[in-house]
Amino acid sequence: MFKLKCDDFLVYDELTGTYSMAADQKVRDEAEKNSWKSTGFTVLKDWRLYAMLIPMILVYFLWKYMPMYELTACFKDPSTGDTLHVNTFSWAGLRYFQVLFTDSDLSPDFWLAFRNTFITAFYGLLFGFPMPIILALFFNEVRSNLVRSVLQVCVYLPKFLSTVIVTSLTLILFRGTAGGLQGEGVVASVFKAFGADKNLVSSGLVFTTQYYRAIYIITDLWEHAGYDSIVFFAAVIAVSPTSYEAAQIDGAGKMAQMRYVVIPSILSTVVIMLIMKIGGLLSVGYEKIYLLLGNGTNSTSNYDVAQVISTLSNQWSETRASDGRALGTAAEMLNNLIGMILVLGANAVAKKASNVSLY
Amino acid sequence: MKRKTEKSELIFRIVAYFVLIVFALLCVYPLLYALSASFSSVSAIDKGSVVIVPIEPQGDAFLAVITNNMFWTNYANTLFLTFLGTIWALGYSILGAYALSKKRLLGRKGFNFFLVFTMWFSAGIVPQYQNYLTTTEVFANLGIVDLKWTVVLAMGMNATNIILLRNSFEGVPSEIEEAARIDGATELQILTKVYIPMSKATIATVALFFGISRWNGYFWAYKVMRTQSFSWPVQVYIRDFIDTYTNISGKASGDDVAAYAATHPDYSAVSVVYSMVICAIIPILAIYPFIQKYFAKGVNMGGVKE
């Protein structure tokens, strides 16, 4: 028993019949004895390594962690101090959360934005997740490398355009005939040909509650689906050709090959990407939504379906001088806390399901 | 049996080709449309009759953009913000990632957490904006009045990029580092002579991630520099033009739109927007074929990490 337990660091000398300590273990024991001394020594000796960390730590502290300190503004009355220094405000407790939840004027807006955040995120996941996988499976069918490269160059391209350009194109292609124009945008006329309401088309489809979400999802797919297929394509081409051959010999049709060969081999990638997506669910692209929002006074505004927590908070902080900052901060804090719970939950599930932790 | 197999494979392949070709055309179409719309006449734009080729071609809209000094000032700003912003972000990211990749770094777990926590939780737009205002004030006290520096230094952080770099540095065999150390190389020399050359692909990818996000950035540049139009990047200028002189975003006043149309009878404001869009994406289109493979690599590196 003793031998079994110890022979990883004891060496048995057959000549003398004695055990002696392995050299490695001696060194390790020595190091442990001096660990406190040597710790200080290593840090000093390695000071350059720690110096290298400083710029990054500083940047993250100043512009990622200091805003978190600004979060205390949601418990404070913004009309009481110097606007630049949140520590000069007097405490107001949970007053602004109460307003968000119960105020007859503001809480409907809050709940609407809250709901829209979830709905936008959910639709984004529902349509945005399968599409790249399908594209990746299809890309695998293209045998010619040249043809595939050309197609891939085309479908990745929208990802590299800025949000301003994507939304400008969206607004123009879906534009209505408002302002004395005689014809609507090209894509809007396609929608009209497929039976979209004429009045809605003429007022600009992006600004209608009926079509805004569809347009948001379509443009999102246009922007991201091609690029997001890269990860899945890498997983698909990693499937060994012999697996296909084996399946073919067994008489498997294309669907059966998909079902029994391809899907199982890319499943782990799919699961991980899905979990990642769920983790980032609530960080919906506020820049795009901000740029697609109507002006509010317009009778055909899309506020009811487009407004999300971040755009609403931004709007409050700009328009409500007395309490907008506290209300906006409170709303965003709730949103981002839920987001964090989703990330950590998703990560825990990933760890359990596949022994792969994302962070 | 064999024939049936071939048939289902053939059908699948036809569907695959069809879907991919249609999707690829849809991805490129808006840009082709933008190009032809920027060269089409006012009446063709108003009627919405441009589909793929320019109708009643004119070059005045493009000329108007080319001779617009404000546009090119803002274009230069974009170049400035992209160039310095990328170098700054890449600089501290490489240094930090190198330190984080070392197992002997004390409190490594803590520093990693410090970084990763920002991916889980962000303060949100309103607190971030307030913080930028404070930054601007501090910078002003230090004598940095141009708001561009707030945008360069304080924005465009990305923890994922740092983690990509860290993972790549961790992949460099430690024997090479030890050999360099025995030869008397300092920490900085080891980084610049060993690690950076060995992680070129990742660094290029990360630089491109930073660069593209800088080139395309809108929201924060707009929020922070709203009143300082000579410092705007070109994205802000384009959107401002749309919001002022065209109907399409629903934000312009009818008078401004009518006034612009009256004083510029030769071309439509929409053509001007498209011309500016074309100018703004030309640099990306020019480098795109060369960088595309790096992006594919970068995504796969970051996709799954154990």
Collect contacts of B301-306 with beta carbons under 8 A, ≥24 apart.
Answer: B301/B164, B301/B167, B301/B168, B301/B202, B301/B205, B302/B160, B302/B163, B302/B164, B303/A231, B303/A234, B303/A269, B303/A272, B303/A273, B304/A231, B304/A269, B304/A272, B304/A356, B305/A358, B305/B163, B305/B167, B306/A356, B306/A357
pLDDT by residue (tens digit) across B225-271? 998 889 999 999 999 999 998 888 878 777 888 888 888 888 889 89
**Does A14 have pLDDT greater than 80?**
no
Mean pLDDT rounded to a whole number for chain B: 88
Q: What is the pLDDT of residue A346?
A: 83
Comparing CA positions, the residue from B30, B65, B22 lying closest to residue B50 is B30
Higher pLDDT, A330 or B293: A330
Longest alpha-carbon distance in chain B: 81
Q: What is the pLDDT of residue A8?
A: 52
Residue with tokens 């460099």: B172
**Nearest CA-CA distance, residue A22 and chain B, Å:** 24
CA dihedral for B36, B40, B42, B47, sign (positive or negative): negative
pLDDT by residue (tens digit) across A113-126? 999 999 999 999 99
How many whole angstroms separate alpha carbon A191 and alpha carbon A215? 11
User: Exposed, middle or buried: residue A235 (CB in 10 Å: 0-12, 13-18, 19+)?
Assistant: buried
Tokens for A196, please give them. 């979209």
Cβ–Cβ below 8 Å for B250 and A207: yes
What length does chain A have? Answer: 359
pTM of the model: 0.87
Cβ–Cβ below 8 Å for B154 and A314: no
Residue A179 backbone phi and psi in degrees, to 5: 80, 25
| H-type alpha helices, chain B | 2-38, 42-47, 60-66, 69-100, 108-120, 125-141, 148-154, 159-170, 174-182, 187-189, 196-198, 200-216, 219-225, 234-245, 254-263, 269-303
**Does A108 have pLDDT greater than 80?**
yes
Mean of the pLDDT values across residues B23-28?
Answer: 95
- Domain ranges for chain A: 2-45, 96-354
- Maximum mean pLDDT: which of A35-39, A59-63, A230-234, A314-318: A59-63
Identity of the residue in B99, B118, B215 whose CB atom sits nearest the CB atom of A49? B99
Q: Work out how many CB contacts closer than 8 A connect A with B.
A: 317
Task: Please state which of the ranges A61-75, A281-295, B125-139, B178-192 shows the lowest mean pLDDT.
Answer: A281-295
**Nearest CA-CA distance, residue A247 and chain B, Å:** 10
Q: What is the pLDDT of residue A1?
A: 35
Q: What is the pLDDT of residue A54?
A: 95
Q: What is the pLDDT of residue A231?
A: 87
Q: What is the pLDDT of residue B177?
A: 87
Identity of the residue in A59, A154, A329 whose CB atom sits nearest the CB atom of B157? A59
Q: What is the pLDDT of residue B248?
A: 82
Cβ–Cβ below 8 Å for A68 and B123: yes
Q: Confidence class of residue A214 from pLDDT cuts 50, 70 and 90?
A: very high
Q: In the beta sheet, which residues pair with residue B61? A: none
Comparing CA positions, the residue from B195, B163, B162, B129 lying closest to residue A359 is B163
Q: What is the pLDDT of residue A3?
A: 41
Chain B residues touching A314 at Cβ < 8 A: 125-126, 129
**Does A323 have pLDDT greater than 90?**
no
What dihedral do alpha carbons A266, A267, A268, A271 form, nearest 10°?
Answer: 130
Mean of the pLDDT values across residues A23-51?
Answer: 68
User: Exposed, middle or buried: residue A320 (CB in 10 Å: 0-12, 13-18, 19+)?
Assistant: middle
How many whole angstroms separate alpha carbon B54 and alpha carbon B74? 28
Q: CB count, 10 Å around CB of A259?
A: 13
Q: What is the pLDDT of residue A16?
A: 60
DSSP state, B162?
A: H
- Assess A247–B contact: CB distance below 8 Å, yes or no: no
User: Exposed, middle or buried: residue A257 (CB in 10 Å: 0-12, 13-18, 19+)?
Assistant: buried
CATH superfamily, domain A96-354, is MetI-like (1.10.3720.10)
How many whole angstroms separate alpha carbon B273 and alpha carbon B240? 10
Q: Confidence class of residue B134 from pLDDT cuts 50, 70 and 90?
A: very high
Higher pLDDT, A261 or B99: B99
Q: How far is CA A338 from CA A224, A273, A333, B29, B122, in A?
A: 24, 20, 9, 39, 11
**Does A259 have pLDDT greater than 90?**
no
**Nearest CA-CA distance, residue B120 and chain A, Å:** 5
**Spatial contact of A288 and A311, defined as CB atoms under 8 Å apart:** no
Q: Confidence class of residue A246 from pLDDT cuts 50, 70 and 90?
A: confident
Spell out the SS3 assignment of chain A: CHHHHHCCCEEEECCCCEEEECHHHHHHHHHHHCHHHHHHHHHHHCHHHHHHHHHHHHHHHHHHHHHHHHHHHHHEECCCCCCCCHHHCEECCCHHHHHHHHCCCCHHHHHHHHHHHHHHHHHHHHHHCHHHHHHHHHHCCCCCHHHHHHHHHHHHHHHHCCHHHHHHHHHHHCCCCCCCCCCCCHHHHHHHHCCCCHHHHHCCHHHCCCCHHHHHHHHHHHHHHHHHHHHHHHHHHCCCHHHHHHHHHCCCCHHHHHHHHHHHHHHHHHHHHHHHHHHCCCCCCHHHHHHHCCCCCCCCCCHHHHCCHHHHHHHHHHHCCCCHHHHHHHHHHHHHHHHHHHHHHHHHHHHHHHCCCCC
Q: How far is CA A131 from CA A134, A213, B19, in A?
A: 5, 17, 11
Mean of the pLDDT values across residues A246-267?
Answer: 84
pLDDT by residue (tens digit) across B75-108? 999 999 999 999 999 999 999 999 999 988 888 9
Strands A10-13 and A18-21, sheet pairing = antiparallel
Q: What is the pLDDT of residue A9?
A: 52
Q: Confidence class of residue A264 from pLDDT cuts 50, 70 and 90?
A: confident
The SS3 call for residue B145 is coil
Residue with tokens 């974009």: B78
What dihedral do alpha carbons B17, B19, B20, B22 form, nearest 10°?
Answer: 110
Identity of the residue in A168, A188, A269 whose CB atom sits nearest the CB atom of B277? A168
Q: What is the pLDDT of residue A205?
A: 86
**Does B292 have pLDDT greater than 90?**
no
Residue with tokens 């994507």: A166
Q: Which residue of A has its CA nearest to B160?
A: A359
Mean of the pLDDT values across residues B266-291?
Answer: 89
Q: Which residue of B has its CA nearest to A281?
A: B120
Q: Confidence class of residue A6 from pLDDT cuts 50, 70 and 90?
A: very low
Q: Confidence class of residue B300 from pLDDT cuts 50, 70 and 90?
A: low
Task: Please state which of the ranges A90-94, A110-114, A124-128, A256-260 shows the lowest mean pLDDT.
Answer: A256-260
- Going by C-beta distance under 8 Å and a sequence separation of 6 or more, which residues neighbour residue A249? none
DSSP state, B250?
A: S
pLDDT by residue (tens digit) across A116-173? 999 999 999 999 999 999 999 999 989 888 999 899 989 988 988 999 999 999 998 9
Chain B residues touching A142 at Cβ < 8 A: 16-17, 20
Chain B residues touching A141 at Cβ < 8 A: 12-13, 16-17
Mean pLDDT rounded to a whole number for chain A: 83
**Does A33 have pLDDT greater than 80?**
no
Amino acid of residue B104: R
**Does A320 have pLDDT greater than 90?**
no
- Assess A178–B contact: CB distance below 8 Å, yes or no: yes
CATH architecture of residue range(s) B77-303: Orthogonal Bundle (1.10)
Q: CB count, 10 Å around CB of B243?
A: 17
Task: Please state which of the ranges A328-342, B17-31, B155-169, B292-306 shows the lowest mean pLDDT.
Answer: B292-306
How many whole angstroms separate alpha carbon A3 and alpha carbon A12? 9
Comparing CA positions, the residue from A294, A130, A115, A148 lying closest to residue A221 is A130
Residue with tokens 């499976």: A137
**Does B306 have pLDDT greater than 50?**
no
**Spatial contact of A94 and A296, defined as CB atoms under 8 Å apart:** no
Q: Confidence class of residue A309 from pLDDT cuts 50, 70 and 90?
A: very high
Amino acid of residue A217: I
**Spatial contact of A57 and B114, defined as CB atoms under 8 Å apart:** yes
Q: Confidence class of residue A192 from pLDDT cuts 50, 70 and 90?
A: confident
Mean of the pLDDT values across residues B202-207?
Answer: 88
